[in-house]
Amino acid sequence: MARTAILNVMVQAATKAGRSLIRDFGEVENLQVSRKGPGDFVSAADRRAEDIIRAELIKARPNFGLVMEESGVIEGTDGQHRWHVDPLDGTTNFLHGIPIFASSIALERQGQIVAAVIFNPVMDELYTAEKGRGAFLNDRRLRVAGRSELPEMVFGTGLPFIGKGDHGRALKELRHFMPEVAGIRRCGAASLDLAWTASGRLDGYWEHDLNSWDIAAGTLLVKEAGGWVSDPDGKQGFLESGSVVAGNEYAHHHILRLLKEARG
């Protein structure tokens, strides 16, 4: 299916940022790194990638608002559109030389996410989706996994790091999931956890305490690949709360149940 003009703008921004990330990944030991909190790093690579994406998006649509991880919020003048931008999702992986990271860009129109791009430049994997038009990996149509039995399923999740999140809740959840499933992965980039759920590599995924820039693009991908997305109570509003559950219909259902049991 031909891409719309707006999706092309997003693809251009993400692939240009990806080239910058690849250059910096090759020189990772020389990068300037600082901390936003105890385990929360930001590097010159994050900033360079964000500068590239911001410039591309503003050049193409100067009136749209922006919600960006590193440079914050820019209010738009059109009042209808906002970009959600994570220039480098998976900074900790990146800084450790682990090639699982991506740029993530989503477009919100009148409160709904309508277009998404996630690009992993190391694997050269470009994920795209538009509302009502399906999800794609490098132009191949995506479909969530077909598995329905919990013991066959592999789930992705995120674990809180030093100084952030509820460590006790994470341990309780893992204790409930581990005896029931084929495997649990902590890949280190929420956008890719969702993209991999859309592509069926993961059967499902859950995580808490995220931000809109981590999950706005990936959740549209999962929905457009035929998956289900909600917060841990089965409600919408995950973009605001930052707690998200995604998967095929069965995985989504199993994860909601296990999270409820873990809450006690």
Question: Under the rule (CB under 6 A), what is the footprint of ligand IPD?
Answer: 69, 86, 89-92, 158, 188-190, 207, 210, 214
Q: Given its phi and psi angles, is residue 237 left (phi above 0), alpha (psi -120 to 50 degrees) or beta?
A: left
* Residue 88 C-beta: closest distance to Ca ion, Å: 5
Q: Which residues contact 26 (CB under 8 A, 6 or more apart)?
A: none
Chain residue at closest Cβ approach to ligand IPD:
158
By CB under 5 A, is residue 50 in contact with Ca ion? no
49: which 2 tokens? 């990638």
Among Ca ion, ligand IPD, none, partner that 203 touches (CB below 5 to 8 angstroms by kind)? none
Rounded Cα–Cα distance for residues 242 and 63 (Å): 26
Q: What is the CA angle 230-119-191, rounded to 5?
A: 25
Cβ-based neighbour number of residue 131 at 10 Å: 15
Look up residue 71 and give its DSSP letter. T
Compare residues 10 and 244 and give the one whose CB is closer to ligand IPD: 244
- Give the residue with the Cβ less far from Ca ion, 216 or 256: 216
Smallest distance from the beta carbon of 29 to Ca ion, in angstroms? 20
Measured from the CB atom, the residue of 24 and 89 that comes closer to Ca ion is 89
Q: Which is nearer to Ca ion, 1 or 162 (CB)?
A: 162
Choose one: 68-76, 158-166, 228-236, 247-255; the region binding Ca ion (CB under 5 A): 68-76
Q: Which is nearer to ligand IPD, 98 or 262 (CB)?
A: 98
User: Which of 89, 120, 73, 106 has its CA nearest to residue 220?
Assistant: 106
**What is the C-alpha separation between 129 and 239, in angstroms, rounded?**
17
Near Ca ion by CB under 5 A: residue from 56, 69, 130, 231: 69
Task: Write down the least CB distance from residue 159 to ligand IPD, Å.
Answer: 7
Given ligand IPD, Ca ion, none, residue 130, with its beta carbon under 5 to 8 Å by kind, binds none
In this complex, which beta carbon is closest to ligand IPD, that of residue 191 or of residue 199?
191
Instruction: Check: CB of residue 203 under 8 Å from CB of residue 197.
Output: yes
- Residue 197 dihedral angles phi and psi, to the nearest 5°: -70, -40
Given the rule CB under 5 A, which of 5-13, 51-59, 80-88, 247-255 is the region that contacts Ca ion? 80-88
Q: Which parts of the chain fold into alpha helices (H)?
A: 5-25, 44-60, 91-95, 167-177, 190-198, 212-224, 238-241, 249-263
Give, as ranges, the residues between 166 and 225 that touch Ca ion (CB under 5 A).
Answer: 214
Q: Which residues bind Ca ion (CB under 5 A)?
A: 69, 86, 88-89, 91, 214
